[in-house]
Amino acid sequence: MRSYPRLASVSLHTIAGRIGLAIVTLFVAAILVGCTTTGGAGGAFCDTARPIRPTAETLNIMTDAEVEEALAHNRFGQQACGWRP
């Protein structure tokens, strides 16, 4: 009769724990990488945002709060990204 070498006994609990730790580590790494910016005062904002320039017709139907939000957005873009009016 042939004898086969015995495999090391590893419990499913140990394997599940290692897999769980690997998943959590990858998740944390993905979050940290996603939080990086390109630098500068505006960071990634300047790479993706554009000035809001509504037409006269759009301005007539915008609420005061919407107009204020657009103005705040454009002011920040002027300071951080060098947008011109």
Q: What is residue 76's predicted lDDT score, i.e. its pLDDT?
A: 94
**Residue range 40-79, pLDDT digits in tens:** 555 688 989 999 999 999 999 999 999 999 999 999 999 9
Cite the DSSP H helix spans in the chain. 12-34, 45-48, 56-61, 64-81
**Residue range 8-29, pLDDT digits in tens:** 666 766 777 778 888 888 888 8
